[in-house]
Amino acid sequence: MERLHDACGVVGIYAPHGKASLDVRSYITLALTALQHRGQESAGMAVYDDEGQIVYRVGMGKVREVFTDSGTSLPSTYAGIGHVRYSTTGSSCVENAGPFVVGDRAGQYESLAIAHNGDLVNGAMLRNAFPEDSFRSTTDSEVIALMLHHSEGKTFNERLADTLQHLRGSFSLVILAQNKLYATRDPWGMRPLCIGKLGDSWIVASESCALDRTGAEFVRKVEPGELVTIDEDGIHSEMLFELPRHSLCVFEYIYFSDATSRINNRYTYEVREALGRELAHEHPIEADLVVPVPDSSIPAALGYAEASGIPYSQGIIKNRYSDRSFIKPDQRLRQLEVDLKFNFVRTKIEGKRLIIVDDSIVRGNTLKRLASALRNYGAKEIHLRISSPPLRHPCYFGIDIPRDKELIAAGRTVQEVADYMGVDSLGYLSLPGLGRAINAAHIDETVDIDPRQVDDPRALKMLHQEFCYGCMEMQGWPFDPQVESQHGPRRVPVIPRGVLS
């Protein structure tokens, strides 16, 4: 209901000269449209022209609003990157829209373009190493671009490794430089990134749903700490950093990623159904119907209904035009507290004992209004079931989870939260249940895990080894974000004037 937001989505395409006939610009537009759920504030694209110069275009709005021409006003190209953004660092304005391009007017290196999904906990420290007038935006993405432009190393790969060692936080990057396409992830693997094949061409994207939309074949994920280089000779890989524990944001499965995406050998839809089944085992209740809060909670509600044997029903219908401008509700509607995002099916609500399934509770205000609306439609009982553990801590890695005091679950018992929202009962999925459900959805046939046979310590161990869940329990962070926020570069680069293109 109160939707969390990820930082953004990225895509890169490389089509070898003379081997591929696809229009890179149109395919980037198509892939960005598939990633629109990851960012709806701005969109941008950067491509190489015939002379090897980077040309780019960014704008505020959704992909099809910015690229009404599918990007064809940009030069025809063999390589390009794209970006959709939701602001977590920096305000929502066109200056903060990616990709970011730094140029060669100072004569140090040739230009490069970068698109970034994630958030750096030490972004402010890194920014302080540059003269104040070096930036045209307030984003971490531009900090990374400038660091890379002025890093040390004989080769671009050496310069990239020199830059990445200073970054603390989440980053999945696609980069245009030296007429090549580069892709890399942070060593913890907090944000997803995958590789696909389009005939003789290559595509890198935040999620596999972008590959599906473009007709590409899924090849594999980019490993945490891996650097992938794509050029005329194909694809090349090297590991820059390796850590014993990986920390993919667990909310990629719970909410952020498209339901059709494949991440870490699991399909998101299957994980969400498994979350619902586990939730039914942990919090059973007698009721007439299982009803999802659309749309992301539908798979979890189906899983709950399957495991509980209680019929599934879509008693709450999402208004498909809810993102358009509406006339301000009159007083009667305000008193009914009906959210204009939803329509209600009275015959599925009136006199019914309802299990309402949602993926998370942030502040609780919107679910409180929903519960009130359901009461007004005659619901006999409302039992709220949440397919994730309580959110008790802010996120430092690119998700807009607010401060502790704004989170309804921070410092409150489950019963206190239920009383505030006006529901008859409330059940959150447990941390062990989260671990059991995720691992039950593994698509590797050699991994056969019956969630009922996995005890709590083993489930927690599996969760901890692969995911960041610090918003639920602080031990879930891959490192202490407040300590690492003070990590700066060893040297202060001298930035020539006029670097920005």
Active site residues: 8
Distance between CA atoms of 85 and 398, rounded to whole angstroms? 11
Write down the residue that tokens 């679950």 correspond to.
Answer: 409
For strands 289-292 and 316-318, give the pairing.
Answer: unpaired
Distances 307 to 273, 310, 427 between C-alpha atoms, Å: 10, 8, 16
For the chain, percent helix, then strand, then coil, each to nearest 5? 30, 25, 45
The answer to whether the beta carbons of residues 129 and 492 sit under 8 Å apart is yes
Core vs surface per residue 463-480: b (16+ CB within 10 A) or e: bbebbbbbbbbeebbbbe
Tokens of 365: 């205000």
Tokens of 262: 């494949």
Distances 95 to 42, 44, 69, 92, 283 between C-alpha atoms, Å: 10, 11, 22, 8, 47
* H or E element at residue 457: helix 456-466
How far is C-alpha 187 from the chain's CA centre? Answer: 17
Tokens of 325: 């401008």
Q: Where are the beta strands (DSSP E) in 78-231?
A: 79-85, 100-102, 112-120, 169-177, 180-185, 194-198, 201-205, 217-221, 226-231
Distance between CA atoms of 242 and 188, rounded to whole angstroms? 8
Backbone angles phi, psi at 78, to 5 degrees: -105, -15
The reply to whether omega before 99 is within 30° of 0 (cis) is: yes
Tokens of 108: 């140090």
Distance between CA atoms of 248 and 227, rounded to whole angstroms? 17
Q: How is the beta sheet containing 289-292 ordered, strand by strand? A: 289-292, 353-358, 381-386, 425-428
SS3 (DSSP) at 441: coil
Distance between CA atoms of 84 and 93, rounded to whole angstroms? 13
Distances 288 to 216, 273, 349, 351, 440 between C-alpha atoms, Å: 43, 20, 10, 10, 27
